[in-house]
Amino acid sequence: MSILIKDTTREERERIVAESIGNVNGACDGCASGLVEMYQDYIDGKREIREINMAFHANYESGDEGPTKSTCGYARG
């Protein structure tokens, strides 16, 4: 099964992100919501997951602003 935007519907992309991240509303009061925000462009059909991951990785290595580690997950910082 392809996860490319051209091969999926918005609903399928929402499911793909939800299944990949896990229970967003889990035991740590929604601490994974920053991850959902990070993948919103994929859900909206604007950028592929690969592009988002590459940008995150580049920001992480360069020290540019990006999601920051909080007590139990990532939050936009």
The pTM is what? 0.64
Q: What would the DSSP string read from start to end of 18-73?
A: HHHH--TTSTTTTTTHHHHHHTHHHHTTSS-HHHHHHHHHHHHHHT-S-EEE-SSS
Instruction: Using the predicted structure, report yes or no on whether residue 4 has a pLDDT greater than 80.
Output: yes
Distance of CA 69 to the CA centre of its chain: 14
pLDDT of 52-75, one tens digit each?
989 887 766 655 555 555 555 545
**What is the domain partition of the chain in residue ranges?**
8-63
